[in-house]
Structure 1
Amino acid sequence: MTEVYVLGHNHPDTDAIGSAMSLSYLLNEIYNFKAIPVISQKPDIETRYVLDYFKIPTPAVVRTVANKQIILVDHNEIAQSLADFKNSEVLAIIDHHKLEIETNKPIYLLSEPVGATATIIYFKYKELGISIPAKIAGLMLSAIISDTLLLKGPTTTEKDCVAYQDLADISGVADVDRYGTEMLKAGAVINNNTPEDFINGDVKEYFIQGKRIRIAQVYVTDMAPVLEKITDIKNEMNKHISKNYCDLFMFVMTDILKINSMIVVLGDERAIVEQAFSTKLAHDMCYQPGVVSRKKQIIPLLIKAFLAK
């Protein structure tokens, strides 16, 4: 039987892993091939909490997809996938981010402007009439909670709200709001994080107008412990810039309770952030109330500013 890897982005979060696992289950129900959910790195603290809560084994970690047939979930940019990605055969992409990828042949593409890739997959289950097991529902529910910040984030849509309620019922979680709050808080525990952890945890890379952009993000319930380490964090950011020829490095501290962010900005293209957000950096930082989403509130503004140069 043909094996197909289902893979989320590097530094996988709850939506990347939950979507890979839930899509694999769906594909195995309807197609005559073996869909295998895989990850490129170990789960983060939040996703570990989810997998433990629902008693679900962690997907296998793979370091290469060369000569494999793959389906991408929750991403489509080469910079966010494994290094030998170009040596694989992409069969399909299911994603909720801006489109960047080029393929050498037509593929199946399902992209919607919703809060989580898991929402797209949930509606595909409904469309095909496939029953969702409680544990898979719990995974998709958790992915939606994570990416929409418990439906409070700016990327939340009506479809996310519908999926959230239906999946909550199927999963059997008695108090879903309480579960979601505890899940987000678990992911916001940063007491033992080193400066390297902060800049290499939840991080994504983009290429915009030929410039390499790296945006790391950490979710917290209190920014003070992170700000205490900010000098060391900036030193690590500068090391990465020098070593990896990064044109712009942004480190986003997001308060999941107050729904705002403090952004550290370093690199040769730092002025573009001032232009994008109509702000002035102070000590390489700027405060952005209401900004919590890379996908919807940061990347679009950066693209617009770069195009205006």
Structure 2
Amino acid sequence: MPSQATSPMAPPKMMRQRTNTQIAVESNQEMAASLIAAVSEKPHKTNPRVDSFAVEIPSNTIFVGHLNTDMDSIGSSIGAAYLFEGKACAASELNTETKFALKEWGFDEPVRFENYKGDKSKVCLMDHNQESQIAPTLDLNSICGVIDHHALQSGTVITDRPIYIDIRPWGSACTIVGHTFLRIRKHIPPKIAGVLLSGILSDTLNLRSPTTTDHDRLLVAVLAKISHCDDIDLLADKQFAAKSEALNHLSPYEVACGDQKKFNIKDEHGEMLAIGFGVVETTDPGGMINRIDELMIEVASLKAEQSLDFSYLAIVDIVKLTSTLLLIGKSEAELAQESFGVDVKSPNNDGIGTMELKGMVSRKKDFVPKLSKAIGEGFKASEPAIEKTKKQKEVVVEEVYGVVQKEWSLEACCNILVRKMKKGAMKRVSSFASMATPGGGWANIVRVPSRPSLATIEATPPVPEMFSKTPSEPSEARPLKAREPPPNQSPQQPPATNKSKNDGASLTILPLVISAAVGAGLTFVLLRATKK
């Protein structure tokens, strides 16, 4: 039988994998178009007497978010200020993601509330409801409203009169404000829609967080269309890249305090326990995990400064949706094990270590509820843990951990807040003795590769599904190296200390721990020396 020529097989068709955001926009296209059309029409009042009461926040109200200001609190404040004819203010310094988004949509940075010289008699709290998160100088008697998406826990604001309250179990305060525009049929300008969109993407991790609801997905579709945002995923990537890049230039103190909140939780006996929980969201968790040594010091100092019973910091990988929880002692380790059912990575039994929490990224939905449940259901720390916590809380921060002060950073090109420790202070911090050993200690067991920066990300098509199973990673982590000794100096001998006033600022590698004061107020750092 003669052989038949066979045509070469056609290459397999490459299918692009759709993202959560693309799916949300496509599935909500029809509804979004309908809502936009309805808002664009002239408002029709079916019952003028009833509709006149639709807006209950008076004009000239100040809308201000929480301390440790983020994109959702600023975006919702700007949107609400336009909606209700008021003024948007910021409670604290803006992070780099927020600054990027404001510039992207053509907004100036809102004035700080404490610096605002106008009328402060009417204030609406945005994206928070607890007194501990309120802007400095804010008079509680001036609060006339709260627009939020967080739980009502202990420490909620108390007013002497009824106020406007709009709290919904949605993923973002910007979603609530955007929906209110639609509900009262008020036109949303493109730049207002854009800043609200950025707020939703930030708080829901581009619709991937477990806090995301169908309301958030619908509003993203609506706001993207109004703001003419053609690539929502690219916008989210740029926002997250702006936040992640800035982390590399922040001091350990700024990283630990940047997004830390305090919660008071009742145990089964009605006793209040204070939990401090900080979050670092990044596309490059390796960069933060390789700084765990110095971050631990700051988490411990916060425990003493705020008299916390438990102090945590979670490094959240917003790409893989997983977190590394930092544990500074037995109390934190025991409560975390009870709450999350995961073993602690630690070289000894003092509780200092880390915990890997896959699929957990949200403080509001994942971390704090589980910690609260464990405490409410009878969790009891061991006696050694209680004794250790007592000692940690009684520490005089300035004497043991040092004083925080501003210092010029050549790398960041600005002043940063740095903790300056007194000579010999580290020797008194027995819990962290392993950290003082360059290249040694428990931190090495969690060292991971750093992911390439997203700062220069471009609008590239999504990765085909057939190749998306195992995202590529660098083959191995590049260890942090100590500075090379001068040419005329033996490698075995420590380099001479340069007491020039620019010495500390000229370092281009990350310090292990801000160490003892030397000479007339000058400092040196212990540099990590990991084995190749």
TM-score range, shorter chain: over 0.9
Counterpart selection for 2:341 from 278, 281, 298: 278
Q: 1:226-249 CA distances to partner (integer Å, 9 max, x unpaired)?
A: 122111111122122222212211
What is the CA–CA distance in structure 2 between the aligned matches of 1:276 and 1:103, rounded to whole Å? 34
Contact 1:200 1:216 in 2 (8 A): yes
Q: 1:67 to 1:166 in 2, by over 3 A?
A: closer
Deviation for aligned residue 1:64: 7.9
Q: Give structure 2 stretches of 5+ with no counterpart.
A: 1-57, 267-271, 347-352, 379-532
Q: What's 2:425 paired with?
A: none
Relative to the length of structure 1, the TM-score reads 0.92
Q: What's 1:31 paired with?
A: none
Deviation for aligned residue 1:295: 0.6
* Within-5 A mapping of 1:245-260: 245-260=307-322
SS where residue 263 of structure 1 aligns? strand
Q: What's 2:194 paired with?
A: 138
Deviation for aligned residue 1:85: 4.3
Letter matched to residue 158 of structure 1: D
Q: What's 1:42 paired with?
A: 93
Contact 2:303 2:309 in 1 (8 A): yes
Deviation for aligned residue 1:269: 4.0
* Within-5 A mapping of 1:1-309: 3-28=60-85, 35-63=86-114, 68-85=121-138, 87-100=140-153, 101=156, 102-189=158-245, 190-209=247-266, 210-266=272-328, 269-270=331-332, 271-283=334-346, 284-309=353-378
Q: 1:62 to 1:86 in 2, by over 3 A?
A: closer
Q: 1:40-80 CA distances to partner (integer Å, 9 max, x unpaired)?
A: 21210100110111120110012389973210111101111
Deviation for aligned residue 1:84: 4.7
Cα-Cα RMSD: 1.9
Letter matched to residue 248 of structure 1: F
Q: What's 2:512 paired with?
A: none
What is the CA–CA distance in structure 2 between the aligned matches of 1:280 and 1:115, rounded to whole Å? 30
SS where residue 63 of structure 1 aligns? helix
Structure 1 residues 276-285 or 211-220, which shifts more? Answer: 276-285
What is the CA–CA distance in structure 2 between the aligned matches of 1:19 and 1:50, rounded to whole Å? 13
Letter matched to residue 89 of structure 1: S
Q: What's 2:441 paired with?
A: none
Report the structure, 1 or 2, having the larger strand content: 1
What is the CA–CA distance in structure 2 between the aligned matches of 1:216 and 1:230, rounded to whole Å? 14
Identity level (%): 28
Q: 1:176 to 1:73 in 2, by over 3 A?
A: same
Structure 1 residues 19-28 or 261-270, which shifts more? Answer: 261-270
Report the structure, 1 or 2, having the larger helix content: 1
What is the CA–CA distance in structure 2 between the aligned matches of 1:198 and 1:191, rounded to whole Å? 9
Letter matched to residue 57 of structure 1: D
Structure 1 residues 241-250 or 150-159, which shifts more? Answer: 241-250
Letter matched to residue 337 of structure 2: E
SS where residue 276 of structure 2 aligns? strand
Deviation for aligned residue 1:222: 2.2
| Number of equivalenced pairs | 303
What is the CA–CA distance in structure 1 between the aligned matches of 2:132 and 2:273, rounded to whole Å? 12
SS where residue 92 of structure 2 aligns? coil
Q: Give structure 1 stretches of 5+ with no counterpart.
A: 29-34
Deviation for aligned residue 1:151: 0.8
Deviation for aligned residue 1:177: 1.7
SS where residue 60 of structure 1 aligns? coil
SS where residue 146 of structure 1 aligns? helix
Letter matched to residue 236 of structure 1: E
What is the CA–CA distance in structure 1 between the aligned matches of 2:177 and 2:99, rounded to whole Å? 21
Letter matched to residue 141 of structure 2: S
SS where residue 105 of structure 1 aligns? coil
Structure 1 residues 277-286 or 255-264, which shifts more? Answer: 277-286
